[in-house]
Amino acid sequence: LNPVKENSKTYKHFNNLTCMENTLVLVKPEGVKRHLIGKIIQRFEDAGLKIIGMKQVWVDNEFSKQHYSEHVGKAFYESLEKYITEGPVIAIVLQGVNAVENVRKVVGESEPKSSPPGTIRGDFAHMSFQHADSKGNPLKNLIHASGNLEEAKKEISLWFKDYELHSYKTMQDYFLE
């Protein structure tokens, strides 16, 4: 039995009816440097989302352009690239029911100022678009989360190989069956 093969096979075999989804989260360099990795991951575990892949990666400018391809050319892109490449990030693949939408709910709005208490961006940051743009800075918001299912699929295949994603049971699965 090849566990790598077995796992990637299980991972790929969601049928069309299921609401089970995988999504990508990054703890950005700011979150790593502020020692917030544990607190951020706790929020997702508390919500019952399953970690099926996780690693620390320090990306270069080229990789940033691939990950943020939709933003390349925008006024803030240069500062965003500098931000995401300034230190290592924690890359995580989370799995759960409507995981893309549920993770964005836990994360909050793009702008920490507009993110309500209880969200990661609302509780651990307070930066506004206006302040960031007035300084020519990136909007420091601690975390990246895929915006929709299509983006999630593209981003997961960019950041992870199939064999880095794992299929296993957690306590939460007993409530989902």
Gyration radius of the chain's alpha carbons: 16
Distance CA 115, CA 133 (A): 18
- In order, the DSSP letters of 24-39 are EEEE-HHHHHTT-HHH
Q: In 10 A of CB 123, how many CB atoms?
A: 17
CA distance 160 to 43: 22
Residues that bind Mg ion (CB under 5 A): 147
Does 63 participate in binding ligand ADP (rule CB under 6 A)? no
Report the nearest approach of Mg ion to the CB of residue 110 (Å). 7
64 near ligand ADP (CB under 6 A): no
Q: Which residue is nearest to ligand ADP (CB)?
A: 110
User: For residues 82 and 88, what is the distance between their CA atoms, to the nearest angstrom?
Assistant: 12
| Candidates 57-65, 88-96, 130-138, 165-173; binding stretch for ligand ADP (CB under 6 A) | 130-138
The yes or no reply on residue 85 touching ligand ADP (CB under 6 A) is no
Which of 63, 76, 164, 167 is close enough to bind ligand ADP by CB under 6 A? 76
Which residues sit at the interface with ligand ADP, rule CB under 6 A? 71, 76, 80, 110, 129, 132-133, 138-139, 141, 144, 147
